[in-house]
Structure 1
Amino acid sequence: MQVWELLGTISIVFGLPLAIFVFVYEQRKARENEEEEINQRLSEGYIDFLKLTIDNPDLKLQSSTATADLTEDQRERMLGIFGILISLFERAYLVIYQENMSRRKMRRWRSWEVFMREWCRREDFRDNLPLLLSGEEPDFADFLQRLAAEEAARGE
């Protein structure tokens, strides 16, 4: 009888911490998988966006400079495409960005920040930001406007 009590106590002393460790480990793994899936969907969204820019070659959106002399139709299409981009950037900001990020999250975020900076270098994108950011999440709008100001200053 004492042997069974001793074995029961030993299993509780070692089994409970092991069970807690396994639970925490599995939860962390599930969270990492979820974050990776979200990042993958965002990346696919950006790839789809780039295909949209390729499908509209007259807008010259693959160029790093503003497209001049647009017709009214071209301007409307460009604003629509920029709107899609802003929506994608805002989603990335809301899902990925945090004040204190792990190295993995920081690496993911930096790639999005690079994309945002690339677009903020375009004068026509920057010029339309007030219109494009109307109604967007205020922290995101402030962040993107700050990036745009930094990129404009670099280009001067």
Structure 2
Amino acid sequence: MELMFWLEVLSHVVTIVGLPFALVVFILEQRKARRNEEDALYQSLAEAYTEFMALVLEHADLKLLTRHGTPTLDDEQRERQRALFDTLLGLFEQAFMLVYDGPMTARRARLWQTWEDYLRGWCRREDFREALPSLLEGEDRAFRDYVLRLLHEETVQRASPRAP
């Protein structure tokens, strides 16, 4: 009889303490799994950008690492440049769809800021800006609007006089 009493007390203790503890552990593990998924996603996007930059280095004659456009390209070089710009824009769109689109936690916003900085840097290049209208044809509408907004901001910033 006494054994039954203690078993019942223990079952109540487990229910009162163990169940909430198990829920807390489950929730923490879910958060950790989501963070790991976000880290893996960001890592794969960063690797894709690194691979793109390797392509840029392979095509050094296009001068894509310079700050300004390269107006003296021949037709074959312009074709390669266009292909690289198209690849780059596809990468930006993928990052936009996977990182920017959806709820933006502070951490996710920091991850996106890197991509926005890359995109702004490319929007400062005259040849990239000139190619954008045709590159954006058929792209996701929200992405296209986002890129055009950044392009406008960069254009306005370039046009405004610099403060000393």
TM bin (shorter chain): over 0.9
Distance 1:135 1:126 in 2: 17
Paired residue for 2:144?
A: 141
* CA radius of gyration, larger in: 2
Paired residue for 2:97?
A: 94
User: How big is each residue's C-alpha offset from its partner over 1:68-96, in whole Å with a ceiling of 9 and x where there is no partner?
Assistant: 02211111101100001001101111111
Give the 4+ runs in structure 1 shifted more than 4 A: none
TM-score (norm 2): 0.91
The correspondence for 1:41, drawn from 30, 41, 44, is: 44
The correspondence for 2:115, drawn from 83, 90, 112, is: 112
- Report the 3-state secondary structure (helix = DSSP H, G, I; strand = E; otherwise coil) of the residue aligned with 1:128: helix
Structure 1: runs of 5+ lacking an equivalent:
none
Paired residue for 2:74?
A: 71
Aligned residues between the structures? 156
Structure 2: runs of 5+ lacking an equivalent:
160-164
Are residues 1:58 and 2:61 paired? yes
Distance 2:156 2:57 in 1: 28
Paired residue for 1:9?
A: 12
Q: Percent identity?
A: 44
Paired residue for 2:125?
A: 122
TM-score (norm 1): 0.95
- Report the 3-state secondary structure (helix = DSSP H, G, I; strand = E; otherwise coil) of the residue aligned with 2:22: helix
Give 1:53 shift.
Answer: 1.0
**Farther-moved stretch of structure 1 (92-101 vs 132-141):** 92-101
Structure 1 vs Structure 2 CA RMSD? 1.1
Distance 1:154 1:65 in 2: 16
User: How big is each residue's C-alpha offset from its partner over 1:92-136, in whole Å with a ceiling of 9 and x where there is no partner?
Assistant: 111111465222111111111100000000111111111111111
Give 1:63 shift.
Answer: 0.7
